[in-house]
Structure 1
Amino acid sequence: MIICGLKLTHDGAVALLDNDSLVFSVEMEKIDNNPRYSEIADFQVVERTLKDFGYKPEDVDQWAVDGWDGCEAGYTSLTLREGKPETLRLAPYHENDSVTSILRPGWQGVFQTESGSISYHSYVHLAGHLASAYCTSPFARNNESSFALVWDGGCFPRLYYVDPQQGVENGGYVFPLIGHAYAICTSYFGPYRREEKPSLQEDLSVAGKLMAYVALGNPVDEVIEVLREEFTRYFESDTSEAVHYRNSLGGWGTRAEEPYVHAFYRSVATRLGQKHFTDEDVLASIHQFFEELLVERVAAKVRQWKGEGPWNLCFVGGCALNIKWNSALRSHPIFRSVWVPPFPNDSGSAIGAACAHLMATDGIGPLAWHARLGPDIKPSEPLPGWAGTRCSPAELGQVLHETGEPVVVVHDRAELGPRALGRRSILAAATDAAMKDRLNTVKGREYYRPVAPVCLVEHAPEIFSPGTPDPLMLFDHTIRSPWAERIPAIVHLDGTARLQTVGEEDDPTLRAVLSEYHRLSGIPVLCNTSANFNGRGFFPDAVSAMKWGKVSRVWSEGVLYLLQESVRD
């Protein structure tokens, strides 16, 4: 059975399953240097994406569409025939009185295209998150049960229990706070303070910056206590406002909860106004408050619901991009193992919609997949002024060692999700602290933003703590001494790093680059940051990197392109 999963709204994507194998997932932002979070507004995009992989709409047996905002139903506009947009009904954000099971379709409909009618099943938005996380997890592969924690920007953190034989149990929300609350705090503290209400894109952008910025401060117990008191007052008390917030709004993805969150932060800011805490310390305290709240409440709910464990846990949703929260959950003794997919945000929702339909029709089981099943590289000719020479992966490792210059790598099929893992990356030596500043400058990023390390998996334990295999760059590690002095470019302000390990099965090409660099330099680590225009998805081809022109070396499909001196000058 061939299932096509569609994410039509924010972070639009098309994914295709052939039985229990993922053939591809293409996010709209990774096509033609599209803006981040691009939607699918025209069905022709779906047809073109299928065609790129040798499929047609009529080859698809089942269509599964991700749900979206709204208590009773979600809606989106999609151009289907003769260039005319039509309104498509979708399942809601999460379960409700009508859609009582997360694996029950929230809506079944038909839409007409130029080539015929298409019947589709739409699943609640959180079903896609849950299904994408569990089906890609090692727990599914080993036929093990697992908790699934789903915390997206628009919902309260919700806990489920997935048993391959018994199905999915819904444990309800863990605490009543939407994920966007993390970014909203920057409206009141720090360098992103603003009077007007930010857009969704601004919230999502600032959340990633905040994760880095908090390293400039230190958590303060008094601030955390104020946050606890105001959190109880605004969200968990028995006042009519708090009860209405929990019961009537409830994290439906509509952003109706945001005025309550703003009121909470205004009250916190008022109470802290006379205390003379720095914004850096306040934001570090807010980050710590969220982390403690998440870990303590999830552990308590798990213990009350199923017992002491230890248990498996899948963590998914936009909040699972927070590597410090991921690591805090992983270190809690109630969890045996914690899995975060490489696409925890909505970039994995097309995969999730298809997996939800697979689970609903064929039962709960594993998906055969790989982290590098995104769009293939587009062939392109070098721009005038760029000269190309053959260069093997090992020779690229030599170039990185001998020149000390960064190289844009655009190679083979792109990574799934938002993290560049060596296929759409800028690689550079990590031995000079100035490299971090240089990479941040060419990418237009703030000075406090970290650059991630990529490391040969067998050497990670000697350099990082814990140094466990983490091929997807989704957990926090501390750099051991004296390695912090040897590879300063990848050391964050708090002494940590978002580690990516590389084994032979992860990416043989990237491993060959690292292995040769290690042989020559004695250092099994390189800098790795994403290759893209600011605010856009990964470069889809080598010529995009040349047009960007901030780095004078581009490696693609075994060719190293060098910007000539005459053009550079």
Structure 2
Amino acid sequence: MKILSFKSGHDGAVAGIDAPKEHLMFSYEAEKDSLPRNSPIDPNTLIDAGLWFNELPDVLALSGWSTRGENHTAISGAGSFGIDESSAIVGTKNFFGKRLDYYSSSHERSLIWATYAMSPFEQGEPCYVLVWEDALGDFYEIDRDLIIHHKGRVLAAPGRRFSFLYALADPAFSGTSETLGKDFSSKLQSASAHGDARAIDGDAQGLIDALLNNSADSRFLHKDTFRGSPYHNVGVASPRFQNLAAKYSDAVFSRFHDFAKTNLTKHYPLLISGECGLNYRWNTRWRDSGLFRDVFIPPCTNDSGCAIGTAVDAMRHFTGRAKLDWTVYAGQPFNDDRIDMEGVTSRELNLSEVAAALYDGMVIGWVMGNCEIGPRALGNRSILAAPFSTETRDRVNKIKGRAGLAPVSPVCLEEDVSKHFDWSGPSPHMLHFQQVTDPRLKAVNHVDGSARVQTVTKDQNAMLHDLLTEFKATSGVGVLCNTSLNFKRSGFINKTSDLYKFARSVGLDGFVAGRSFYRF
């Protein structure tokens, strides 16, 4: 049985599962070919996905989706909400002349089942699940029989409430909670690193209380509603706002932590899903909380994992199984659309040569194999640089079109991570917070001394591990700057023509694609 699954709406994706093998065949996100961030599924993505099938799949699956607003009218499949079997649609559909099984379940279920299926725990081991995102802020329990139990809603729309604070302070934003920038959450995380939560005033606490008013529908998040606040258009670089951001981040997390401490007392593992699962500070606080035996966050914790989640839900329905064998490199393969590349010299890839070039200060694009799933560049669609100077950080941020002091994440040999950061063991998906302990790593050291590390093993990504090993032999440090290879506000670059255009336009010194090293 092969299952073809679609996630409609923003963060569109299409995924395929081989159910007898419990294997994720692929997960293609619509944005992952230099298309606009958060794109819906387009014909190209569908055609690419079809190449995996020698014949039509056995099951079509569709993640539910709804309109925003008070009624949340279903516009795709089973709609957005519901956790029991009544929230699913089961039937058959005619598809290119063949009658196929059809399964659709809610957006809510897709988030739950994606993180459950990808987690390392055996099926039948009970788990808690936290879904926190634009609409949902809820805890669940999955029992040994794969039944989902709702443990309680902590806060409606935590993702939207969190992002809105940045919008409120930003004079350039004039919209509503419906038009918040998708990057506002990460920008607020960065702002909070500059602030001191202990330095807030009464105005700040009053605003926090208003924004976290659980009885209010999230439609109240409109800048005009808060025009009288001293934080309205105060400026996102204002120290007063940065202190508020630090306190607000603490307040949102504490709301959920306090609920969990009181109501989730069985010490089960915690699985985290939803866009707030990209908040690496909160993820580490969950890990360090002591409330759970373990904590797992998938790399596609936001809506990019929903096609996987609905495919798993369909597999669970038809086979009784809900676990996957998967790799983070299950995205689109690179398209080497050969072009004339003026001003470029090409050599066969030699990792020691690349390591030496990085040590000499070159900033290099790095393309290997298939795209990563989820929003983080994890060594297959990356920009790499040496980690030693603030000048390198500033140059990488200029290349990316970001603020000069924006954090640049490190990638590190897993066996060396405790030499450079206050961390031991794996952090393969760049979803946790660490403190930098090595003073040499100035390019990846954020203003508060923090970093968001990706650790790499030979089994996880052999080429990147080998490059880090060569760089360590050259520099003494198995760490590099690693940020995503993409045009601004677009998904990862996935073909040679775009890679060459990007490298020329932003001033990369060269790029690696496949088995070749190209230098300008």
User: Do they fold alike, i.e. is TM over 0.5?
Assistant: yes
Change (3 A) 1:74 1:140: farther
Q: Distance in 2 between matches of 1:427 and 1:72?
A: 43
Which residue identity does 1:258 align to in structure 2? S
Which residue identity does 2:218 align to in structure 1? E
Q: Please, what TM-score do these two structures have when normalized by structure 2?
A: 0.90
Are 2:291 and 1:341 aligned? no
Are 2:5 and 1:8 aligned? no
Could you tell me which of 119, 126, 135 is aligned with 1:137?
119
Question: In structure 2, what is the equivalent of residue 91 of structure 1?
Answer: 78
Contact kept, 8 Å, 1:465 with 1:477, in 2: the verdict is yes
Between 1:520-529 and 1:288-297, the stretch displaced more is 288-297
Instruction: Tell me the alpha carbon deviations over residues 125-154 of structure 1, each in whole angstroms, 9 at most, x when there is no partner.
Output: 01111111011111237x522100001212
Question: In structure 2, what is the equivalent of residue 152 of structure 1?
Answer: 133
Contact kept, 8 Å, 1:15 with 1:25, in 2: the verdict is yes
Could you tell me which of 197, 218, 222 is aligned with 2:176?
197
- 3-state SS of the aligned residue for 1:93? coil
Question: In structure 1, what is the equivalent of residue 160 of structure 2?
Answer: 180
Contact kept, 8 Å, 1:533 with 1:539, in 2: the verdict is yes
State how many pairs are aligned: 506
Instruction: Tell me the alpha carbon deviations over residues 311-342 of structure 1, each in whole angstroms, 9 at most, x when there is no partner.
Output: 21001101111111111111111112110000
Deviation at residue 51 of structure 1 after TM alignment = 3.4
Question: In structure 1, what is the equivalent of residue 142 of structure 2?
Answer: 162
Which residue identity does 1:386 align to in structure 2? V
Question: In structure 2, what is the equivalent of residue 36 of structure 1?
Answer: 37
Question: In structure 1, what is the equivalent of residue 61 of structure 2?
Answer: 64
Instruction: Tell me the alpha carbon deviations over residues 531-558 of structure 1, each in whole angstroms, 9 at most, x when there is no partner.
Output: 0011111010233121012202010111
User: What does 1:95-494 correspond to in 2, within 5 Å?
Assistant: 95=82, 101=84, 106-108=88-90, 119-140=101-122, 143-155=124-136, 157-165=137-145, 167-189=147-169, 191=170, 194-197=173-176, 200=179, 202-219=180-197, 220=199, 222=201, 225-227=205-207, 229-230=209-210, 234-235=213-214, 242=215, 245=216, 257-262=217-222, 266=226, 269=229, 278-302=240-264, 307=265, 309-382=266-339, 383-401=341-359, 403-480=360-437, 483=438, 485-494=439-448
Which residue identity does 2:194 align to in structure 1? L
Contact kept, 8 Å, 2:133 with 2:157, in 1: the verdict is no
- 3-state SS of the aligned residue for 2:483? strand
Contact kept, 8 Å, 1:397 with 1:516, in 2: the verdict is yes
Q: Distance in 2 between matches of 1:455 and 1:271?
A: 39
- Return 5+ residue gaps in structure 1 as ranges: 76-88, 236-241, 246-256, 564-569
Which residue identity does 2:358 align to in structure 1? L
Q: Distance in 1 between matches of 2:345 and 2:187?
A: 36
Are 2:515 and 1:561 aligned? no
Could you tell me which of 21, 24, 27 is aligned with 2:23?
21
- 3-state SS of the aligned residue for 1:414? coil
Deviation at residue 395 of structure 1 after TM alignment = 3.7
Question: In structure 2, what is the equivalent of residue 498 of structure 1?
Answer: 452
Deviation at residue 416 of structure 1 after TM alignment = 0.6
Between 1:538-547 and 1:312-321, the stretch displaced more is 538-547
Contact kept, 8 Å, 1:553 with 1:562, in 2: the verdict is yes
Q: Distance in 2 between matches of 1:400 and 1:195?
A: 42
- 3-state SS of the aligned residue for 2:142? strand
Could you tell me which of 521, 544, 556 is aligned with 2:498?
544
- 3-state SS of the aligned residue for 1:529? strand
Percent identical residues: 27
Instruction: Tell me the alpha carbon deviations over residues 96-147 of structure 1, each in whole angstroms, 9 at most, x when there is no partner.
Output: xxxx60x555334666665556552211001111111011111237x52210
- Return 5+ residue gaps in structure 2 as ranges: none
Change (3 A) 1:431 1:60: same
Deviation at residue 225 of structure 1 after TM alignment = 4.0
Which residue identity does 1:534 align to in structure 2? K
Which residue identity does 1:195 align to in structure 2? S
Instruction: Tell me the alpha carbon deviations over residues 26-76 of structure 1, each in whole angstroms, 9 at most, x when there is no partner.
Output: 001013x1111111255x742x123333x15x430111111112557521x
Change (3 A) 1:546 1:228: closer
- 3-state SS of the aligned residue for 1:311? coil
Q: Distance in 2 between matches of 1:36 and 1:434?
A: 28
Between 1:216-225 and 1:347-356, the stretch displaced more is 216-225
Change (3 A) 1:524 1:171: same
Q: Distance in 2 between matches of 1:17 and 1:161?
A: 25
Question: In structure 2, what is the equivalent of residue 79 of structure 1?
Answer: none
Contact kept, 8 Å, 1:186 with 1:193, in 2: the verdict is no
Q: Distance in 1 between matches of 2:122 and 2:86?
A: 20
Q: Distance in 2 between matches of 1:138 and 1:357?
A: 20
Contact kept, 8 Å, 2:60 with 2:102, in 1: the verdict is yes
